[in-house]
Chains A and B, each alone.
Chain A
Amino acid sequence: MSQFYKRKFRIHRCFSTAIILLFFSCLGNTTGLQNRPLEFLPPDKLVLFIVKYDNLICSPCLNSFFDFYQFLPYPSRENMVWGIIVYDNPEEKERREVYRRIIEKKSRGFFKANNITCPIVLDHSHNFKIFSKKGAAILLFERENRILKKYVFPLNEKQKKEILNFFNDPGKLREGDK
Chain B
Amino acid sequence: MIALRKRSLNTFTRTRRRGIIRLFEALLLIGVLCSLVVFMWGKDRLKISLEEVLSIGSLDDDDLFMLVGIVADSSKNIYVTDAMDYSIKVFDERGTLIKKTGRKGQGPGEFLAPRFIDSSEHFLYVSDQNIFGIQVFDKDLNYKNKIPILIPVSDLKVISDSEIAVSTLSMDFRKGRKVFIYNSKGEITREIEYADKKTPLMMDTVEIQFDPQGNLYLAYCHQDKIEKINPEGKKIWSKRLLGIKKVKKKKVQNFLLPSGFAYKDIALNSKGHVFVLGGSFSKNPSQDVYVLSSEGKLLTTFTLPDWSHCIYIDGQDYLYSRANEGVTLKKYKVNYIYR
Q: Which residues of A are interface residues toward B (Cβ below 8 A)?
A: 56-57, 59-60, 98-99, 101-102, 105-106, 108-110, 112-114
Contacts of B259 in A (CB 8 A): none
Q: How far is the CB of B89 from chain A (nearest CB, A)?
A: 11
Contacts of B60 in A (CB 8 A): 101, 105
Can you sample 11 A-B contacts with CB below 8 Å?
Answer: A59-B112, A99-B325, A102-B59, A102-B324, A102-B325, A105-B327, A106-B66, A106-B327, A113-B85, A113-B86, A114-B104
Contacts of B86 in A (CB 8 A): 113
Beta-carbon contacts under 8 Å, B53-71 to A: 59-60, 62, 65-66
Q: In the bound complex, how far is the Cα of B82 from the Cα of A56, in angstroms? A: 13
Q: In the bound complex, how far is the Cα of B322 from the Cα of A106, in angstroms? A: 14
Q: Which residue in chain B gives the minimum CB-CB distance to A113? A: B85
CB-based contact B59/A105 at 8 Å: yes
Contacts of A57 in B (CB 8 A): 66, 83
By secondary structure, the B interface counts as: loop
CB-based contact B59/A98 at 8 Å: yes
| B268 is an interface residue with CB less than 8 A from chain A | no
Q: Which residues of B are interface residues toward A (Cβ below 8 A)?
A: 59-60, 62, 65-66, 82-87, 103-104, 112-113, 130, 324-327
Contacts of B66 in A (CB 8 A): 57, 106, 109
Partner of A105, one of B65, B87, B103, B104: B65
Contacts of B59 in A (CB 8 A): 98, 101-102, 105
CB-based contact B84/A109 at 8 Å: yes
Q: How far is the CB of A24 from chain B (nearest CB, A)?
A: 24
Contacts of B103 in A (CB 8 A): 113
CB-based contact A112/B85 at 8 Å: yes
B65, B82, B84, B113 interface centre (most CB from chain A within 10 Å): B84
Contacts of A60 in B (CB 8 A): 130
Q: Which residue in chain B gives the minimum CB-CB distance to A100? A: B59
Q: Which residue in chain A gives the minimum CB-CB distance to B61? A: A105
Q: How far is the CB of A111 from chain B (nearest CB, A)?
A: 9
Q: What 6 new A-B contacts, CB under 8 Å, besides A99-B325, A106-B326?
A: A98-B59, A101-B59, A106-B327, A109-B84, A112-B85, A113-B104
Q: In the bound complex, how far is the Cα of B326 from the Cα of A101, in angstroms? A: 12
CB-based contact B84/A106 at 8 Å: yes
Q: Which residue in chain A gives the minimum CB-CB distance to B326? A: A106
Q: How far is the CB of B329 from chain A (nearest CB, A)?
A: 14
